[in-house]
Amino acid sequence: MHQQGIDKEFFKSGYRFISGIDEAGRGPLAGPVVASAVILPPEIIIPGIDDSKKLSSKKRERLFDVIQNVALSVGIGIISSDIIDEKNILEATKIAMIEAESNLTITPDLLIIDGIIPINSLTKQYTIKKGDSISQSIAAASIIAKVTRDRIMLEYDLKYPQYLFSKHKGYGTQEHLERIKEFGPCYIHRKSFRGIKEILV
């Protein structure tokens, strides 16, 4: 990513508190969807920051601490698998993003959201396709969301060791699907998702 990316243009336009928003965990068969909202100081440039999917786990962990230290505010929203089943994953993702914004300690004057779906917010917002690869604050939010979700899945791994959540974080790997067939779904599996709902019929 080139320095701050698109954020620089928004700061030049006069916005002071720009919150990047992104999520982690739309695709998995188990666990929550997690969103994060991050407001960075206008002058800050964080070396090595990028879309969380392009970074190693070790790099994400290191950048997670850097972002927490330099950000003006970080908000997180966590929506459980039962709400995902009740509402659908798209609605649950939007709820997580709204929750992340509401957990900021500073009121943003602009939201820049990864993707194409706006959220229900009174704050001015822009949706940016592949925003996590062109915006420093969206990339920061993607790292916070991903690391937060991975840590949650490691806790679930201790509770439900038979599913190997520490390895696949709830994604539908061959190994995970085999474990679901062997042990049946557990409390955190998304019962409305393909790969799970067939087993429940």
Domain ranges within the chain, ordered by starting residue: 7-200
| For residues 137-163, average pLDDT | 98
Residue 137: pLDDT above 80?
yes
In the prediction, which pLDDT does 201 show? 64
Band (pLDDT 50/70/90 cuts) for residue 61 is: very high
Main-chain dihedrals φ then ψ at residue 60, nearest 5 degrees: -60, -45
* Contact between 31 and 172 (Cβ < 8 Å): no
Cα Rg, the chain, nearest whole Å:
17
Paired with 30 in beta bridges are 189
Nearest CA to 108 among 36, 60, 32, 45?
A: 36
Handedness of CA 110, 112, 113, 118 (dihedral sign): positive
For the chain, what is the mean pLDDT?
A: 95
In the prediction, which pLDDT does 103 show? 98
CATH architecture of 7-200: 2-Layer Sandwich (3.30)
Sequence-distant (6+) residues with CB within 8 A of 106 are 17, 39, 72, 73
Residue 150: pLDDT above 70?
yes
| For residues 129-138, average pLDDT | 94
In the prediction, which pLDDT does 2 show? 54
- Of 80-94, 110-124, 187-201, give the lowest mean pLDDT range: 187-201
Residue type, 157: D
Q: What is the pTM assigned to this prediction?
A: 0.96
| For residues 137-155, average pLDDT | 97
